[in-house]
Amino acid sequence: MLRLDGFYDLHIHSAPAPFVRIGDSADIARWCAEAGMAGIVIKSHFESTVSKAYHARLAVREAYPDFKVFSGIALNRGVGAKRIVITHPELAAPKLDLPTMVELAKAGCFMEFCAVNLLPMFYSISVQGLLEAIEAVTPERTILSSDGGQPFNPRPHEAIRIVIQSLHEKGLAAETFRTICIENQKKLLDLSAAAPPLE
């Protein structure tokens, strides 16, 4: 079984929210930290998540002092001009075809594919389809997030684990997950500099 050590999930929804969620920010941060992940971004379509991120960080700080929690804005996150992230590009909005994704990737955009879009309620892409999309836009321009938090989906970290394990069974090399689940996220979060020394 593949592990999630060092992974980031840049797209998680948490309670409280106008929709039922699988847990609050503290619950989800704890689950992800327990799974070995390095950090999460809590997103909302309705409000700033700064205070959610703050409380989540407090909840895990003692047990997982290095675990990072960020707040995200739901603007199809643009982090500087060259760091545009296009969220679930295959979905009805924006519904990009593969050549368009490749073109945008070449222009420097990141395609954010989301694990929940391979699961029953939000299904929009097959494992094979995702594999082909990653190969086409290249892992260097791909990030895998969960977009999780809904009660009918697995917990966000488990949604990611299901998808990476499935991609791996279909032939995607395990090293690729370093790129699409860790390295690209660190660039987007400006964590690309080497981790600060522990002492």
Q: Give me the residue whose beta carbon is nearest to Zn ion.
A: 147
User: Is 24 among the residues that bind Zn ion (CB under 5 A)?
Assistant: no
Min separation Cβ 192 and Zn ion, Å: 24
Min separation Cβ 148 and Zn ion, Å: 9
The helix (run of H) or strand (run of E) holding residue 55 is helix 50-61
Min separation Cβ 98 and Zn ion, Å: 22
Give the chain's length: 199
Tokens for 186, please give them: 């660190």
Nearer to Zn ion, 24 or 147 (CB): 147
What is the rounded distance in angstroms from the CA atom of residue 104 to the CA atom of residue 109? 6
Min separation Cβ 174 and Zn ion, Å: 27
What is the rounded distance in angstroms from the CA atom of residue 35 to the CA atom of residue 7? 9
Q: Residue 130 CB: number of other CB atoms within 10 A? A: 24
Question: SS3 for 156?
Answer: helix
Site track 112-151 with Zn ion (rule: CB under 5 A), x = hit: -----------------------------------x----
What residues line the site for Zn ion (CB under 5 A)? 147
